[in-house]
Amino acid sequence: MHRRAYFLLERDFQELKENNFKGITAFPVSEDLMEWGASIQGLQNTVWQGLFFQLTINFTSEYNLVPPVVKFLTIPFHPNVDQNTGRACIDFLDDPAKWNTSYTLSSILFTLQVMLSNPVLENPVNLEAAQMLIKDESLYKQIVLRFFNQPSQLRDDRPESLKDPDKFIRSTKAVSFNDYYKTWSGIATSKATEYYRSPCKSPGLQSS
């Protein structure tokens, strides 16, 4: 079983290197490929633009029959991210019954990247963030950015393996937001509505 997981993760790694997706990097930090470090960058023209998030991804020997455990090391103030643990609230990661063996490391990172600017406000894991986004979008954006106005703290919190730029898969290929949206809407927590095509929008924020 472990040999199968190793082979599939090598395939996922090769997919990342060949496609060179913009704003997504990942690399194994263990020889058996069960532990990974990753980084995602916020999409352009959103409140998350220019912000980088470090993550850990832990696989088991049962991959890809079961999902990995994914946690943000740089925890965003976001309705769908647990503020205490850094775990993203995405159904196919939380519920093995909703996991699909067609999902890869790339599709997981795509989902997380688009989730940042397309929050699902039904059953949020961070209720405070969801309520603030609905009631006062401007204040929500200020708090999001405040988390990133202390770059020295972020640098200190990152593990050494994530500080080495040579270990990252550099990303240069541009992908449109619609392409991200199409990928994410099929596999994220719930189907994204047209409300969420605009960054940080929700039904409660629609103007009359």
- Provide the annotated active-site residues: 89
Q: What are the residue ranges of helices labelled H in the chain?
A: 2-19, 91-94, 105-117, 127-135, 137-146, 151-157, 160-163, 177-185
Residue 155 identity: R
C-alpha to C-alpha distance for 134 and 152, rounded to whole angstroms: 31
CA distance to 43, 49, 178, 199, per residue, from 118 (Å): 10, 13, 12, 6
Tokens 């930090």, located at residue: 29
Rounded to a whole number of angstroms, the distance between the first and last alpha carbons of the chain is 56
Tokens 């976001």, located at residue: 78
DSSP 54-98: EEEEE--TTTTSSPPEEEESS----TTB-TTT-BB--HHHH-GGG
Q: Using alpha carbons, select from 105, 99, 87 the residue that is nearest to residue 38.
A: 105
